Structure 1
């Protein structure tokens, strides 16, 4: 019987980044425009709301042709040119792993080209070698909100089954090239954020399809099929890799013990599980089939695809966790009979970040325990961290709030390990400050390393170690004993 008292000796301590939020160089070396390049920074926007949820075709056309607005993800922190120096900071902290994405629009700029972009491959050849050289295990996300615009323009996004073939070609190109250097792969980032960030998730403009709900579910089905095809390909080739899927945790508490609130939370949480129910169990669960039928959503699923999903379940679960949620019948009068995501209500027992995200380390323990009990699949903490306004003083940031946040979550992670949950590693989100996925802000900072750049791209770009830099370094050195 296994008796774990602390983090295992082979625990993967590190961090996570995304190409679209950090690299910049949006139109260099043959790269085409991707969906994340379309979001402008709006100083007047409500910071508690997503700035990337939906787009109309007119909004896409405007962004493509706009010459005046500032589009932060086109510039990132210029990691495309600075990565060798930036990786030295992570090495100094003792990182054992780095999770990052490869930008589809950099590898196949025109998507349908038979031959990948040589310059794009050369960049990732050099980058992956540098990650390994600095002592880190690379974990690669194949698709992290980097859908090439061409797929939106020609196919109306992932709803079209031809996109499966294009994704398979792209993914096979990466697996063939890097399987000897990269063991851990995540097929699609946060596949369940379909309802919260549908445009970035499936690339469909809200006004270009008759039934947007159906288009969303068809799109995510096609992504699930594409993920299984890559798992099948890796098996057939005999590659020694692990193919995982990833959820952004959306686990919700009921507001109280009223049975309607308990059922509402249960049904809300089932929608968080549905994707992994399919990808780990190999078939669509009855509750989602019922939802499709009652909502008159017709998903095109072939017998061949059903067999593919059954025979090619994925290997591990990657989870991003930032906050917990609470749902209430008071806000969702009809949700007790449906399966749509419920509106969340502020939890009076929890503090929130400046962006309204509830700070709840015990929710971390709760959701991970639920995933393990449901699947018994190894779990990677793919993202966790605290976005805050940081103040640079005397060439550092005294970010005790970040230390406290991550410390509390690591304490709960250790409790999971004591329970026998197999946790592979912990990837702190954005170890070097990068552009926020949700609000396009640079000043919503997560890093252990401060980047001197503001929301409009002004600043020197110089890097500075924060107080949390040295704290996390000691955490890694002591394998989580000194928190």
Structure 2
């Protein structure tokens, strides 16, 4: 639609806030009836640049089940949000949060994943969390599944590789929608659903000992089951609360060609297609045709029931959310050189990188926003973006101007995307409070505006300390993104 005037700033009602995951903050892994989750059987990585979240096989799983401590399994302790939630939410409110994205631990509601009746203590905990958010008029944005499925579903069905897990998940989502639906306007189904192609952390299926082709078959079949379950959850919510909004969530990995060579441009296009395949299904309601060739060339057959494609077509999501941390460079004869520990690709010589090797590309966020808006024409929501760094507590203070600089650059590019015509609902930066790293389970990789006194071994007072970035983000929210200056 032609208009003489175009948006110049963040819209009124823009949802500023932060995002966390239950398995990285809650702790209380064995309290109040909660069951063990897949996240809590993953050992801490031996190296800061080596991911560990998928290194689970039958032997390590049994070892973890027999171990009733948190020593090797930091996600079991988190930062004890379970007992500090009121204090933490009060700090979020002090910053001025309009929204707080968090996940519900499925195993806190249904300890075995498919229990007939919910664990009332689990429901009561999240009721208390919502009470605190309502006290400060902070909107909840709830992720239904964030890398923490009940371990019993792995033992019983091998996770999402079995179609019966769809029914278990939708039994859980119906309970959650009915119990919390009047208090929650925004929901997400699966966190970073595309990372299920990496394995266990997202599929809950043991596949480390399978040949590569069988492994890929299992992962894409598991993801099909998640896509169907996501569509059915959308159906459930809209039938119960038609005005509520439910979105999908993608780990967006924008890919650049390494050169203008057509083969490199095509390689980058292929990489982006494999990344966007998942949102294509959840937004457009069908498997995109370009995946047919990929499946055939890799001898993959997606087993579907007769009404699966009709379910996908009938219940698309209301909005599209994604995480954005980095971009990658792709070339036609690439050897898979690692960039950071979240994606593979070539290094971009024009970008700086974090201590963990994640390349920093603020303009890439504007590119991503424009491309996803053009592709889907549905509201977008940046639900993760942040900088992991080794913050130093000196004389009771953390001077994290590098984080302020990182976030400022990305927020500037979000504003530019809004000027470009992108409809953006909000921004929940990742890790407003220091938490356990998803990929390595370490504590020393810190993202937060709030420092938590705990080290990689779990030692510390758990005291919460405001960093310099805390006051900066407070000002950003108060001015709705107009004042991004750093006055410290």
TM class, shorter-length? over 0.9
- Residue 448 of structure 1 is matched in structure 2 by 449
What displacement does 1:331 show? Answer: 2.0
Q: 2:16 is paired with a residue of what secondary structure?
A: strand
- Does residue 40 (structure 1) correspond to residue 43 (structure 2)? The answer is yes
Give me the whole-angstrom Cα distance separating, in 1, the residues matched to 2:326 and 2:219.
Answer: 25
How many Å apart are 1:49 and its aligned residue? 2.3
**1:257-276 equivalences in 2 (<5 Å):** 257-276=260-279
Q: 2: CA distance between counterparts of 1:288 and 1:151? A: 29
How far is the alpha carbon of 1:363 from its aligned partner? 0.8
Asked if structure 1 preserves the Cα contact closer than 8 Å seen for 2:253 and 2:343, the reply is no
Alignment partner of 2:148 out of 133, 146, 149: 146
Q: CA deviation at 1:423?
A: 0.5
Distance 1:132 1:208, change over 3 A: farther
What is the TM-score of this pair, normalised by structure 2?
0.94
Which stretch of structure 1 is more off in the superposition, 156-165 or 54-63? 54-63
In 2, Cα distance between equivalents of 1:234 and 1:23: 26
1:331, 1:343 within 8 Å by CA — same for their partners in 2?
A: no
Name the structure 2 match of 1:91.
93
Q: Is residue 385 of structure 2 the alignment partner of residue 407 of structure 1?
A: no
| Aligned equivalents of 1:259, 1:381: Cα separation in 2 | 31
Q: Contact between 1:41 and 1:456, CA under 8 Å: does it hold in 2?
A: no
- Deviation of the 1:366 alpha carbon: 1.0
**Alignment match of 2:190 (pick from 188, 191, 204):** 188
Q: Partner residue of 2:221?
A: 218
Report the CA distance between 1:462 and its aligned residue. Answer: 0.6
Structure 1 window deviating more from structure 2 (292-301 vs 273-282): it is: 292-301
1:288 to 2:291 alignment: yes
Find the partner of 1:234 among 231, 234, 237. 237
How do 1:53-132 residues align onto structure 2 when only pairs under 5 Å count? 53-66=54-67, 69-132=71-134
C-alpha deviation, 1:242, in angstroms? 0.7
Contact 2:112 2:151 in 1 (8 A): no
Tell me which residue corresponds to 2:339. Answer: none
Q: Aligned residues, how many? A: 473
- Taking the aligned partners of 1:70 and 1:199, their CA distance within structure 2 comes to 18
Contact 2:221 2:302 in 1 (8 A): yes
1:243 aligns with 2:249: no
89-98 or 323-332, which deviates more:
323-332
- Structure 1 pair 321/356, CA: closer, same or farther in 2 (3 Å)? same
- Render the CA deviation track for 1:397-416: whole Å, top value 9, x for unaligned: 00000000000000000001
Find 2:317's aligned residue among 314, 319, 330. 314
Equivalences for residues 274-423 of structure 1 within 5 A: 274-332=277-335, 343-423=344-424
Paired residue for 1:172? 174
1:209 to partner: Cα distance: 5.7
Provide the C-alpha distance between the structure 2 equivalents of 1:383 and 1:426, rounded to a whole number of angstroms.
8
- For 1:36 and 1:112, the matched residues in 2 are separated by 18
Gaps of 5+ in 1: 334-340
In the TM superposition, residue 208 of structure 1 has moved relative to its aligned partner by 6.4
- Could you give the per-residue CA deviations for residues 224-270 of structure 1, whole angstroms, max 9, x where no partner exists? 10011011122333432111000011111111111111110000000
Question: Are the counterparts in 1 of residues 451 and 464 from structure 2 also a CA contact under 8 Å?
Answer: yes
Tell me the CA shift for residue 130 of structure 1: 1.1
Report whether the alignment pairs 1:23 with 2:23: no
Per-residue deviation at 1:327?
1.3
Q: SS at 1:444's partner residue?
A: coil
SS of aligned partner of 1:141: strand
1:245, 1:276 within 8 Å by CA — same for their partners in 2?
Answer: yes
**TM-aligned CA deviation for residue 207 of structure 1:** 4.3
Deviation string 1:112-132 (CA, Å, 9 cap, x unpaired) is 211000100010111112112
In 1: Cα distance, 2:239 partner to 2:18 partner: 31
**Which residue, 4, 10, 15 being the options, matches 2:13?**
10
Compute the displacement of 1:475 (Å).
Answer: 0.3
TM-score (norm 1): 0.95
Q: Quote the RMSD (CA, aligned, Å).
A: 1.5
Q: Is the 8 A contact 1:13 1:427 kept in 2?
A: yes
What CA distance in whole angstroms lies between the structure 1 residues aligned with 2:279 and 2:183? 27
Unaligned runs of 5+ in 2: 337-341
